Chains A and B, each alone.
Chain A
Amino acid sequence: MSDFFDALDTAARLIARLDPELRDIIVLSLAVSLTASVCAFLIGAPLGTALAVYRFRGRGALIVIANALLGLPPVVVGLAVYLLLSRSGPLGSLGILFTPTAMIIAQAMLGAPIVVALVHRMMVDVWAAYGDALLVDGASRLRAMAPIMSIGREALLTAFLAAFGRAIAEVGAIIIVGGNIRGYTRTMTTAIALETSKGDLSFALALGIILVILSMIVSASTLLVGRSLTIR
């Protein structure tokens, strides 16, 4: 048990001292994962809603695919993005491998299916309750999407947080496409992996405790902002 107490103690001291390197790592983790989950949301939310609102051939297949991709292994996404962005790959001329941008791309790919699947599942109910009324009022299905999304905004918030949770906790993809470069692409999770490999287990666990706290703060504040907007 002493490892755990050591870790708690180290975490408390790290937070109290706010080491500049740790601060940069925290800022990068949040910036990469928030941006990635926002991208995943902007792609996934309209898509998930459309899957609930429209009826077309192949819709069922798309829903199955989105749900199947929930289990997408980060390490596979990382490898695919690596091969795409490598100098020898199709997008190599962009020169963005081993940069935060590459990490955002990988995490957005991981988050998008989560947003699509969750938004679809929840919007199906909203559409069942309000869809006919909106169509009777003369709105097209396209015009109906905005009010549907507005009614189901708490569901959208949940989907966003699920995507963020996946991103901030993930290490397999970003360690491949980011390279865990100190001061440049090192995030909380890749730093934890590194400290573990250096055998400094209590320091690694201390970083983990800070990561959990951060993740809770982001989720709680997003929910609070969401609630204040909902009550308005």
Chain B
Amino acid sequence: MNRGPMKMPAFAALVATALLLGGQAVAQDKSIVVASTTSTQDSGLFGYLLPIVEQKLGITVKVLAQGTGQALDTARRGDADVVWVHARSAEEKFLAEGWGVKRYPVMYNDFVLIGPKGDPAGIKGTDIVAALQAIKAGTAGFVSRGDRSGTHIAELALWKEAGVDIGHDRGPWYKEIGQGMGAALNIASATNAYVLSDRATWLAFKNRRDLAILVEGDKRLFNQYGVMLVNPARHPTVKKDLGQQFIDWLISPDGQRAISGYTIDGRQLFYPNANDPDA
């Protein structure tokens, strides 16, 4: 059999892969999969926090940055050990269905309403309810995540609070993109539209062009993050000991200090609140 030209690259590729996968199999011995949101990754929090976890606990954390709805679904299928998300209603449903063991509040920050500096709807400095009503009444666009993420769930709740039935009142001004926070900000920046973002992703976002924060500080814009171990009774493959170790560290004084130590340009992005029983 002469396969001629193929032998060399085939052999080289197989050897390279064997070495690579072999090396990683050893290095990844103590590892867990954490399904989380795009905000925790895009803001750079994981890039900062995970090396600390690796050093303190010896656990390699593999992060799937997916958005809250998808992260919870990944966990329901048994493909993650821990979920770390930000939509309390969805988290409590997940627990009630028996997919999670226990929910721990970890940290919070807030949502901000972003829009073009020219502010065609004139919402700057108003509260979030008045702002959304003005956007709906105006001609400028609004970009919605539309992906069942924590931010999307929060956005829908805010429309409801503003008395807008988005299912009924939506028009061409309401662009549902079905993508992550960064993609939504990119589209808002390219089309001069309004968009709801978590503050952390906004601070880390580089393609702002003409966008700025227009509404912030409203207590309805509170954004709580929670963490849960996936129920090993439902999925025996869940690494419950390593997962619980990771959670225990996050809510420990040590872990909470590490979270508050993450800053961009001197600004803190997440505020630890594991001690708040109502969070």
The interface of chain A, by Cβ under 8 A from chain B, is 27-28, 30-32, 34-35, 37-38, 41-42, 45, 86-89, 92, 95, 97-101, 104, 146, 149-150, 153-154, 156-157, 160, 179-182, 184-185, 194, 196-201, 222, 225-226, 229-230
**Docked CA distance A89–B183 (Å):** 30
Residues of chain B within 8 A (CB-CB) of A32 are: 17
Q: Chain A: interface secondary structure?
A: helix
Q: Are A87 and B207 in contact (CB under 8 A)?
A: no
| Sample of 4 further A-B pairs with CB below 8 A, known A28-B20, A153-B3, A180-B64 | A41-B6, A184-B62, A197-B181, A225-B8
Q: Is B127 an interface residue (CB 8 A)?
A: no
A95, B237: Cβ atoms closer than 8 Å: yes
When C-beta atoms are compared, the residue in chain B nearest to A34 turns out to be: B13
CA–CA, A42 to B186, complex, Å? 42
Cross-chain contact of B79 among A41, A86, A146 (Cβ < 8 A): A86
Question: Please, which residues of chain A bring their CB within 8 A of the CB of B46?
Answer: 182
Given the known A-B contacts A88-B78, A225-B8, are A184 and B24 also in contact in the complex, defined by CB atoms under 8 Å?
yes
Instruction: Identify A230's interface contact among B5, B28, B179, B237, CB under 8 A.
Output: B5
A104 to B12, CA, bound (A): 15
B118 at the interface (CB under 8 A from A): no
How far apart sit A124 and B211, CA to CA, in the bound complex (Å)? 59
Shortest Cβ distance from A27 into B: residue? B20
State whether A160 touches B205 (Cβ < 8 A).
no
A-binding residues in B (CB < 8 A): 1-6, 8-10, 12-14, 16-17, 20-21, 24, 28, 33, 38, 41-42, 46-47, 50, 62-65, 76-79, 179-183, 185-186, 189, 204-208, 235, 237
Which of A98, A101, A184, A199 has a CB less than 8 Å from the CB of B205? A199
Provide the main secondary structure of the chain B interface.
helix
Q: Which residue of A lies closest to B31 (CB)?
A: A184
B235 touches A157 (CB 8 A): no
B62 in contact with A196 (CB, 8 Å): no
A87 near B186 (CB under 8 angstroms)?
Answer: no
Pairs across A and B, CB under 8 Å, 11 listed = A31-B13, A32-B17, A34-B9, A41-B10, A92-B78, A150-B2, A156-B3, A182-B46, A182-B47, A199-B208, A201-B206
Residues of A within 8 A of B41 (CB): 194
Q: Determine which of A45, A146, A179, A226 lies in contact with B62 in the assembled complex, contact meaning CB atoms within 8 Å.
A: A179
A168: min CB distance to chain B, Å: 12
Chain A residue contacts of B78, Cβ below 8 A: 86-88, 92
**Please, which residues of chain B bring their CB within 8 A of the CB of A38?**
6, 9-10, 13-14
**Please, which residues of chain A bring their CB within 8 A of the CB of B8?**
225
Max chain A C-beta neighbours (<10 A), residue from B12, B204, B207? B207
CA distance A179 to B34 in the complex (A): 11
* B186 and A199 contact, CB distance less than 8 A: yes
Check A27–B16 contact: CB distance below 8 A.
yes
A31 to B17 CA separation, bound complex (whole angstroms): 5
Q: Is the CB of B16 within 8 A of A34?
A: yes
| Complex interface: chain B residues within 8 A of A225 (CB) | 5, 8-9
In the assembly, what is the distance between CA of A201 and CA of B20, in Å?
A: 30
Chain A residues, CB < 8 A from B38: 197
Contact A199 B5, beta carbon cutoff 8 Å: no
Residues of B within 8 A of A197 (CB): 38, 42, 179-183, 186
| A195 CB, nearest partner CB in chain B, Å | 9
Chain A residue numbers with a CB within 8 Å of B1 are 146
Q: Which of B3, B9, B41 counts the most chain A CB atoms within 10 A?
A: B9
Q: Which 6 A-B pairs have the closest CB atoms?
A: A197-B182, A87-B78, A199-B207, A34-B13, A226-B5, A199-B206
Chain B nearest CB from A4 CB (Å) reads 15
Q: Which residues of A contact B186 (CB under 8 A)?
A: 196-197, 199
**Distance in Å from the Cβ of B17 to the closest Cβ of chain A?**
4
Nearest-CB distance from B112 to chain A (Å)?
15
Distance, CA A225 to CA B24, complexed state (A):
30
Q: Which of A34, A154, A180 contacts B65 (CB 8 A)?
A: A180
Report the minimal beta-carbon distance from B98 to chain A, rounded to whole angstroms.
15
